Amino acid sequence: MKKTLVLCGMLLLPGQLSAATPPADKTGELDWSIKKTWKLSAKPIDFVQSLDNKLVYVLEGDSKVHIYSIDGKQMGAVPVDKTTTAIDIAPRGEMLYLVNSSNTYTAIDISFTKTINISGSPFLGNENAPVTMVVFSDFQ
């Protein structure tokens, strides 16, 4: 019995000693804790997060909208006008909306290209022909 308790205690100990554990606080009835933090490449001006919590769009001082995965990995960047002051996105992040101090509204279609390794797979036609895959995710 003692061996089991000691083993359980040893397994739990590294998780309790971890310095990477974000601080938690309690203020009255409010409990909160920091879940994620990462460094941005330039000074942030505006940001928005997709409703599915998969992407974060950040308008930064380098005149680009940087697109990050939820864990902070940069997925790409879209150059924008230097006078852009605010951004918004469609619910799934497929459209990026910009407004700037020159009284201009811009809508940009956003999509990600993925490379699929098909070497050694059978094919019909030109092996260098472009292929577009469409996912209809709004059907139930």
Q: Provide CB contacts within 8 A for 81, sequence distance 6+.
A: 63, 98, 100, 102, 104, 106
Other C-beta atoms closer than 10 Å to the C-beta of 90 total 14
Residue 83's CB is within 10 A of a number of other CB atoms, namely 13
Q: How far apart are CA 27 and CA 25, in angstroms?
A: 7
| Digit-coded pLDDT (tens) for 12-40 | 444 444 445 555 666 678 888 888 888 88
Would you say domain 36-109 falls under CATH 2.40.10.360?
yes
Decide: 87 and 97 in contact? Cβ < 8 Å.
yes
Domain range list for the chain: 36-109
Predicted structure pTM score: 0.65
